Structure 1
């Protein structure tokens, strides 16, 4: 379970992403397309092309977490 503490930022990608991408691929999108640091503790949410699935990545200070939601 991801439970953010205190102040956190939430970013929702409006364009769908290729759902074959893993944590590294999504972190690369955050860095290259959004020009943000994926390791700053913010929560990044991506949607599938059909908009029926989500992938969430977050850095918890010790490692990155990837959560698939169906």
Structure 2
């Protein structure tokens, strides 16, 4: 996932069975609300994001303010 400096544009590189897919979204009003990112020695560290959090981000919903309820998750 790549986000520009103003947090108004986002590109996502996603791997599918047939190859790579690029999703691109540019906001004309507002900006994306990003998750908190840790820095080590002045450099950003890779951050794993759940698909559900990504969908909330694209829809303009702050994932940190969402109340998550327990759900059954099948055993692997």
Q: Same fold (TM over 0.5)?
A: no
Question: Which structure is higher in RCO with an 8 Å CA cutoff and minimum separation 6?
Answer: 1
What is the TM-score when the length of structure 1 is the normalising length? 0.35
Larger Rg over CA atoms? 2
